[in-house]
Structure 1
Amino acid sequence: MAFSDQLLAEGHDLWEAQKTHPFVVELAEGTLNPAAFRHWVEQDYRYLLDYARVFAIGGCKAHDEETMTHLLGIAHSILADELELHREFADEYGISRSELEAVTKAPTCVAYTNFLLRTAYEGSLAELAAAIYPCGQGYLDIAAHMAIIADGEHRYTPFIEKYTSDEFRDSVAWMRTFVDRCGETFPGERDAMKEAFETSTRLETAFWGMAYERETWDEMR
């Protein structure tokens, strides 16, 4: 069994739980409260800026040209393409780019981005590969599930189309291969990779809840 498959198998229950989260189900049906989606747009925009940084750090850590090129290329794609989709969503709510960039991260977004950045700076390249994998594979799997349960086109259809596109599938396929290669090349890193993968998966699940409940720092008082 490929190491990426092993990670997915061991995290099966948490992985499947994301597919039944109210945010995911209601988005697929087109019934999600626009306020919840707006919160996701704002928070995911801030998340993706750091996610791109993590890929860029990985590119700097890579020892071979192919890995360096691909990691830096994904960082550029996030900044140039994926964030543009978020800006288009934001336009529907009258939110400017400067306003998006000034959004305060919710506690869950802080926890997730801080974990990814700490792993990128302090961890090995193998840990980084495992930490970034749940976001890519998770959005592909969840969007594919959404495409199945969606009933016709609605305001959230562009979300589903983005994360089931051939371009996104290709990016995730490379991430999967990257995880497998790291697991084979650095067998001593596998336990650390499993821990990083599990933490990111838990934070991915929490991110849906953060958006659905419109989590803010006021709740922490």
Structure 2
Amino acid sequence: MTFFDELKTVNAQSWERYCDHEFTRGLADGTLPLAAFQKYLVQDFLFLIDFARAYALSIYKSHSLEEMRKGLEGVKAILDVEINLHLRLCERWGLTEKDIENAPHELATLSYTQYVLETGNRGDLLDLKIALAPCVIGYGEIAANLAKVPGALDNSNPYAEWIKEYSSPEYQEHMHGAIAELEGLAQRYLTDNRRERAHKIFKTATDLEANFWQMGLEG
């Protein structure tokens, strides 16, 4: 069992609520209301900006060039890949990059981004990467499962592009790299005394991710 498997097992209820949410099921079968997805997408764009800052913080928290390079890879993946996906989808509804950047932050967005950044500022690189894990690893796991749903990747599904992006070989490689990095950090820095803290960080971040889906639905 990897450290990431341990985190999921200890927090199985929170992880299931996040991965098997009404929002994600609606992505797979195309029944998610478009307004819910649009609200989520704009808020996720704002979230990703702070997520990139969190990866930049991971460079500062790093103790080796290898760790710094992994932090840089995370920044580039967000700014060069994920942000572009959001912009492409938003452009279809006439929303420009400036429109999205100037959109007000929902409380669910602020709560999540502030938690990740504060966790990283207070703790070390392991704490920060645990707080990042539900997003960077969870999206890959969720999309891989959604891609197996019959019709999920069909052109008739308005959310097929989102699923394809996060289930793509490129993102799956990025996801497995994050799992491996988390494992390496745990081997170096995790002690029995801080294991409970690690579990709590993961649970809080996972619950905030589930709240993010719910925010989209309630919109």
TM-score by length of 2: 0.93
Distance of 1:150 and 1:143 partners within structure 2: 13
Contact 2:10 2:199 in 1 (8 A): no
Please point out which of 191, 195, 200 is paired with 1:190.
Answer: 195
Matched, 1:90 2:95: no
Other-structure match for 1:175? 178
Deviation at 1:191, TM superposition (A): 2.7
The correspondence of residues 4-23 of structure 1 with structure 2, limited to 5 A, is 4-23=4-23
Alignment of 1:26-105 (within 5 A): 26-105=26-105
Identity of aligned residues (%): 31
Deviation at 1:208, TM superposition (A): 0.5
Aligned to 1:219: none
For 1:58, the aligned partner's letter is: S
Aligned counterpart in structure 1 of residue 161 of structure 2, from 144, 158, 161: 158
Q: State how far apart, in whole Å, the 1-side matches of 2:61 and 2:40 are.
A: 31
- Alignment of 1:203 with 2:197, yes or no, is no
Deviation, structure 1 residue 203: 0.5
Does the 8 Å CA contact 2:126/2:189 hold for their aligned counterparts?
yes
1:18–1:142 contact (8 Å) kept in structure 2: no
Q: What is the CA–CA distance in structure 1 between the aligned matches of 2:71 and 2:133, rounded to whole Å? A: 12
Of the structure 1 ranges 107-116 and 121-130, higher mean CA displacement relative to structure 2 is found in: 121-130
Aligned residue for 1:213? 218
1:83-142 alpha-carbon deviations (Å, 9 max, x no partner): 000001111111110011011111111100000111122211110011111112211121
Q: Residue 95 of structure 1: SS of its match in structure 2?
A: coil
Q: Distance in 2 between matches of 1:20 and 1:74?
A: 25
Provide the C-alpha distance between the structure 1 equivalents of 2:196 and 2:126, rounded to a whole number of angstroms: 10
| Unmatched segments (≥5 aa) in structure 2 | none
CA contact (8 A) 1:19 1:145 kept: no
- TM-score normalised by L of structure 1: 0.92
CA distance in 2 between partners of 1:28 and 1:178 (Å)? 29
Residue aligned with 1:148, SS: coil
Rounded to whole Å, the distance in 2 between the matches of 1:150 and 1:47 is 30
Q: Distance in 1 between matches of 2:18 and 2:120?
A: 25
Instruction: Check whether the contact 1:134–1:204 (CA below 8 A) recurs between aligned residues.
Output: yes
Question: SS of the counterpart of 1:163?
Answer: helix
Q: How far has the Cα of 1:77 moved from its partner?
A: 1.7
Paired amino acid for 1:200? A
- Where 1:104 maps in the other structure, the secondary structure is coil
The residue type paired with residue 31 of structure 1 is T
1:110 aligns with 2:110: yes
Determine the C-alpha separation between the residues in 1 that align with 2:216 and 2:38: 8
Structure 1 residue 150: deviation in Å?
Answer: 4.2
More off after superposition, 100-109 vs 10-19: 10-19
Aligned mates of 1:164, 1:56 — CA distance in 2: 25
Query: Runs of 4 or more off by more than 6 Å in structure 1?
Result: none
> How far is the alpha carbon of 1:19 from its aligned partner?
3.6
User: Which residue pairs with 2:132 in the alignment?
Assistant: 132
Q: How many residues align?
A: 214
Whole-Å separation in 2 of the counterparts to 1:148 and 1:16: 17
Structure 1 residue 192: Cα displacement: 2.5
Partner of 1:217: none
